[in-house]
Amino acid sequence: MTTRQSRIVDRALTRLKLRQLRLLIAVGQHGNIVNAARDLGISQPAATKMIQDLELDFEVELFERTNRGVIPTVFGEALIRHGKLIFAQVSNAAQELDDLNEGNSGRVVVGTLLATSPSLLPAAIERLVEDRPNVAIKIVLGTNDALIPALLSGEIDLVVGRLPVYRYRTNIIQEKFFDERVVMVAGPDHPLARKTGVTFDDMTGFGWVLPPIETTLRRQIDQFFLRHDKFVPRLGVESVSYLANRSLLRESNMLGIAPADVAALDIEAGLLARIDWTVPFGAGPVGVSHRGEESLSPASLAFLAALRDAVKDGRASRPGPV
């Protein structure tokens, strides 16, 4: 540890107060010290002094002063991010103690993407509750653009699903479980449902149900469209809800793309039909992301072990329809 770093750490351990971090976060949210001070019930001069003390202790400028207020510097943004993580950890600790007081054996907050919902998560949860019958489990569904920031801020313990390939890789640990592939699906009565050797040209006259624009799969789809004369579906619906997508496909002649594992049961049950077209994009790694095992609670570590066991036993994924 460098002399400067050890000096700052020593100050933080002896002088830093949670109230200062609360103010720091509030100033970042408001962009204004007066409003932040009002939220915390302190005077503006006292708030200004607290920010100045933080800057002296950390030996950096945390905010840039402008005519319209204050803007966090790169140092301010970093400290605000760590401050949010500290408060999230305090909240998690309080929640875990409350769970233990209520007889629960810990709490796990899991972010998930569509790819893992039908197989991997249920298998891991089943294993976890066998070992910890009273564990509290919260599942948050979303895309990586929403889940990974929540993971980094401590609101979520682990994210299970398609691993981000380009973004968010420097501050998280990734563990790959298997490769996901996608299939083209439609309602069972779709004109292409029983056609063999479907081509892309066969599908251009129909509307498409598409993943949200911020997802990796959507970016791959858009690149594919660009390579095919900048194709634009005559009707496009963006949705991350599989249940809504399934209903829309069954009640219309639209086409949709879904992870093979997710669509498999509905195809077997006749609720959807697989279009006979080999999707030339969408394959990608599925696994778990977290901030490091040292940051996980005992219940979260147990859930991580349950995920690994489920994959090892072959319960994490099932073959998609062919």
Which tokens sit at 67? 């005519």
Domain contains 162: yes
Of the listed ranges 151-160, 168-177, 231-240, 284-293, the least confidently predicted one is 168-177
pLDDT at res. 167: 62
pLDDT of residue 321: 39
Q: Please check whether residue 270 lies inside any domain of the structure.
A: yes
154 or 198, higher pLDDT: 198
Is 175 strand, coil or helix?
Answer: strand
* Least confidently predicted of 71-75, 109-113, 121-125, 281-285: 281-285
The radius of gyration of the chain's CA atoms, rounded to the nearest angstrom, is 24
Kindly state whether residues 175 and 122 are assigned to the same domain. Answer: yes
Please say which residue of 16, 47, 82 terminates a domain.
82
C-alpha to C-alpha distance for 113 and 140, rounded to whole angstroms: 9
For residue 32, is pLDDT > 70?
Answer: yes
147 and 217, same domain (yes or no):
no
Least confident of 183-192, 218-227, 232-241: 232-241
Please tell me whether residues 153 and 187 are part of one structural domain. Answer: no
* 154 and 211 assigned to the same domain: no
Residue 190 and residue 252 in contact, taking contact as beta carbons nearer than 8 Å: no
pLDDT in tens, 66-115: 888 899 999 999 999 889 888 877 877 777 777 666 656 788 999 998 65
Structural domain total, the chain: 3
User: Is residue 294 included in any domain, yes or no?
Assistant: yes
Same domain, 270 and 298: no
How many angstroms separate the CA atoms of 216 and 240, rounded? Answer: 13
Mean pLDDT across 185-203? 95
0.85 cut: is pTM over it?
Answer: no
Same domain, 203 and 273: yes
Tell me, yes or no, whether 275 and 191 share the same domain. Answer: yes
For residue 20, the domain's CATH number is 1.10.10.10
Determine the pLDDT at residue 319: 42
Q: Is residue 112 part of a domain?
A: yes
- C-beta of residue 136 within 8 angstroms of C-beta of residue 275: no
- pLDDT for res 1: 58
Residues in Cβ contact with 128 at an 8 Å cutoff, skipping those fewer than 6 apart: 108, 135, 137, 299, 302, 303, 306
pLDDT exceeds cutoff 80 at 315 = no
pLDDT at 318 > cutoff 50: no
**Has residue 97 been placed in a domain?**
no
Domain residues for 9? 3-82
Question: Domain holding 213: CATH number?
Answer: 3.40.190.10
Domain boundary among 82, 111, 127: 82
Average pLDDT, the chain: 87
List the single range of 48-62, 89-103, 111-125, 259-273 with lowest mean pLDDT: 89-103
Are residues 221 and 147 part of one domain? Answer: no
Residue 95 lies in a domain: no
- If we measure between CA atoms, which residue out of 191, 233, 177, 243 comes closest to residue 210? 233
Task: Please compute the mean of the pLDDT values over residues 276-289 and round it to a whole number.
Answer: 90
CA distance 193 to 276: 8
